[in-house]
Amino acid sequence: MRTLIFNIFSYSTTFLYIISCLICSLIPGRKALMGALKRYTKVMVWGMRQIGGMDIDVRGKEHIPATGPVIIASKHQSYGDGFVIFSQFEDLSFVTGDHLEKYWGLKRILSKMNAVVIDSCGGSDSQSKMAAQTEAVRSEGRRLLIFPEGHLSRIGTHHRYRKGVWHLQQDFDCPVIPVANTLGQRWNQTDWAKFTGKAVVEFMEPIQPGLDKDTFMALLQDRIESQSIALLDLDNPGALNVADIGREEENHVARAKRLAREEKAG
């Protein structure tokens, strides 16, 4: 019953705020739209806690610089990740896959809020597009959220980390803050079922510019994955299948596009 009530709340709240954000997108500037989005994420986090029974613990905010650009690189297990992280900032831009543009009204909202929309499956075309779209974000010194795996990962598992986050750091010349989380135990990917219990979102020590690509990617993945596993609540696993812990997976869409690129290249 709790799952049913939360999902009704989630869908109805999202629909109402899409309408609100579309209206705000007609107002010049970004302030009205970003204010509506901030309220939306706070309402959703309230619902996750009070209706969904998710005991969300946000840790490590002291690692976020008070001013200046910074890249937030987070584990991505459900839409709840975005709600919790977005609610912690006044003005946050983010990198998202082009799959969101298929939903009614979202393409206009994403464009207005200066979201960086790329092919979720990566590739050189995505890197070029991301570099061009992040120019406005960089010039205004805003914070940028990216999910390095490029896809929602089933709780306990991970996808191959995309190297776009390293290219972003090269462009921005700013710290990258790894974010571990266990929200997937309570809200796994886009599953209907929700589970009560502890969920942690932890901002970790920043990775400073200057590392080569391979060193940076290995360090980022190790920090995010190791801490996300360490934070798992094994006494109340929720959606977690313990046998999945540490397993690497590949999204079927990503696999198809990767094979197509490899075939074209060789």
At residue 69, the pLDDT reads 86
On whether residue 229 sits in a domain, the answer given is yes
Identify the residue with better confidence: 58 or 105.
Answer: 58
On whether residue 42 sits in a domain, the answer given is no
Average pLDDT over residues 158-172: 91
| Per-chain mean pLDDT for the chain | 88
Strand runs (DSSP E) across the chain, as ranges?
54-59, 71-74, 92-97, 116-118, 143-146, 158-159, 176-181, 197-203, 248-249
On whether residue 228 sits in a domain, the answer given is yes
On whether residue 33 sits in a domain, the answer given is no
Average pLDDT over residues 205-224: 97
Give pTM, 2 decimals: 0.87
Rounded to whole angstroms, the Cα distance separating 248 from 180 reads 16
Identify the residue with better confidence: 76 or 138.
Answer: 76
For the stretch 242-260, pLDDT in tens is 999 999 987 766 666 666 6
At residue 250, the pLDDT reads 79
Contact yes or no for 114/96 (Cβ under 8 A): no
On whether residue 6 sits in a domain, the answer given is no
Average pLDDT over residues 210-229: 97
264 CB-side CA count, 13 A? 7
Tokens of 182: 């266990």
At residue 102, the pLDDT reads 65
Q: Which domain holds residue 66?
A: 55-265
Identify the residue with better confidence: 171 or 139.
Answer: 171
On whether residue 214 sits in a domain, the answer given is yes
Number of domains, the chain: 1
Please report, for the domain that includes residue 78, its CATH number. Answer: 3.40.1130.10
On whether residue 174 sits in a domain, the answer given is yes
Average pLDDT over residues 21-49: 94
For the stretch 84-137, pLDDT in tens is 999 999 888 888 776 666 666 777 888 788 777 766 555 555 555 566 666 666
251 CB-side CA count, 13 A? 18
On whether residue 28 sits in a domain, the answer given is no
At residue 147, the pLDDT reads 93
